[in-house]
């Protein structure tokens, strides 16, 4: 299987602080990969580096065979920022149609994306009048609308009710089955189990890159949250041991 994303020794500094410290990872095509970690661990910075809007200090980021940010990638990537980035003074439909037009897609595809995120009834509503959860789904519709090969989603399910969350995850898996690669960040560990693969980062370091089953097997616990805690503790014990020796 070809890799959609390859990170090699990725180092990023932001605001005088090292946010990512030498990340090496690959993400295979056609999978749903979860990027998990506590808040402030560098998830958003990693995603920004992938879509080419983050100044990278060192290392390489390769996306679909091109360096991240290459003009060829702009038609092939959908990016959902963590805070909903849609125009509050436009309707849901107008937002979707604008982002569709940027990707060379028509209004039919825009309307389909609005329906896909469950906002058909609110399509004519100004985004400013939507609830927080609806607003982030409006933003998601604008990321889906170009039918991208790679979807980079920064916490897409925050603030959604359980039914909608389940629907969105089902949609993500359907897209992956059709060949789309999805990288989805979350700080909610119960979402980890829904992913094909997991990247766990903590304080800018990658501490796991595996399938949920392998993570469970390696730590000997069934609960992924508990498994991650053990990995973190094992990692810290390892670091402490190195420093002592």
Partner 1 sequence: MNPRILAATTGRILRQLRHDRRTVALLVVVPAALLTVVYYMYVDQPTPPGQPAPFDRIALVLLGFFPFIIMFLVTSIAMLRERTSGTLERLLTTPLGKLDLLFGYGIAFGLAAVVQAAVAAAVAYWLFDLDTAGSSGLVILIAAVNAVLAVALGLLCSAFARTEFQAVQFMPVVVAPQLLLCGLFVPRNEMAGWLQAVSDVLPLSYSVEALQEVGSSAEPTATMWRDLAIVAGAAVLALVLAAATLRRRSG
Binding site for partner 1 (CB under 8 A): 13-15, 48, 51-56, 69, 71, 74-75, 77, 79, 81, 83-91, 94, 98-99, 101-104, 126, 142, 146
Q: Considering the complex, what minimum distance in angstroms separates the CB of residue 238 from partner 1?
A: 31
Compare residues 108 and 214 and give the one whose CB is closer to partner 1.
108
Q: Considering the complex, what minimum distance in angstroms separates the CB of residue 130 from partner 1?
A: 14
Compare residues 33 and 103 and give the one whose CB is closer to partner 1.
103
58 Cβ neighbours under 8 A, 6+ residues apart: 9, 10, 11
Cα 182 to chain centroid, rounded:
7
Compare residues 23 and 208 and give the one whose CB is closer to partner 1.
23
Q: Considering the complex, what minimum distance in angstroms separates the CB of residue 228 from partner 1?
A: 29
Q: Considering the complex, what minimum distance in angstroms separates the CB of residue 78 from partner 1?
A: 9
Task: Compute CA distances 56 → 3, 52, 123, 214, 215, whole Å.
Answer: 21, 9, 38, 31, 29
Residue 130's Cβ-side half-sphere holds a number of Cα atoms within 13 Å equal to 29
Q: Considering the complex, what minimum distance in angstroms separates the CB of residue 40 from partner 1?
A: 17
Query: For residue 211, how many other CB atoms are within 10 A of its CB?
Result: 14
Cβ pair 213, 224 in contact under 8 A = no
Nearest residue to 195 (alpha-carbon basis) of 178, 218, 216, 172? 172
Compare residues 91 and 157 and give the one whose CB is closer to partner 1.
91
Q: Considering the complex, what minimum distance in angstroms separates the CB of residue 97 from partner 1?
A: 8
Q: Which helix (H) or strand (E) holds 231?
A: helix 224-244
Compare residues 52 and 156 and give the one whose CB is closer to partner 1.
52
The DSSP line for 72-95 is GGTTTEEEE-SS--S-TTSBHHHH
Cβ pair 110, 143 in contact under 8 A = no
Compare residues 16 and 220 and give the one whose CB is closer to partner 1.
16
């Amino acid at each position: 299987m070809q890799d959609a994303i390859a990170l090699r020794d990725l180092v990023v500094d932001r605001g005088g602080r090292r946010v990512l410290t030498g990340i090496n990872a690959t993400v295979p095509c056609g999978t749903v990969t979860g990027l998990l970690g506590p808040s402030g661990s560098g998830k958003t910075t990693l995603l920004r580096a992938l879509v080419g809007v983050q100044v990278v200090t060192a290392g390489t980021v390769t996306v679909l065979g091109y360096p991240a940010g290459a003009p060829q990638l702009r038609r092939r990537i959908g990016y959902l920022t963590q805070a909903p980035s849609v125009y509050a003074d436009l309707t849901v439909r107008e937002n979707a149609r604008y982002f569709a037009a940027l990707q060379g897609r028509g209004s039919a595809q825009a309307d389909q994306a609005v329906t896909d995120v469950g906002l058909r009834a609110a399509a004519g509503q100004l985004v400013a009048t939507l609830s927080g959860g609806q607003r982030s789904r409006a933003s998601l519709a604008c990321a889906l609308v170009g039918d991208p090969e790679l979807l980079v989603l920064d916490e897409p399910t925050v603030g959604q009710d359980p039914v909608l969350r389940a629907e969105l995850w089902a949609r993500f898996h359907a897209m992956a089955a059709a060949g789309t690669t999805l990288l989805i960040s979350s700080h909610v560990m119960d979402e980890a189990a829904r992913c094909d693969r997991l990247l766990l980062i903590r304080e800018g370091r990658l501490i796991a890159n595996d399938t949920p089953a392998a993570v469970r097997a390696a730590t000997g616990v069934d609960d992924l949250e508990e498994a991650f805690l053990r990995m973190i503790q094992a990692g810290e014990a390892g670091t402490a041991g190195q420093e002592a020796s």
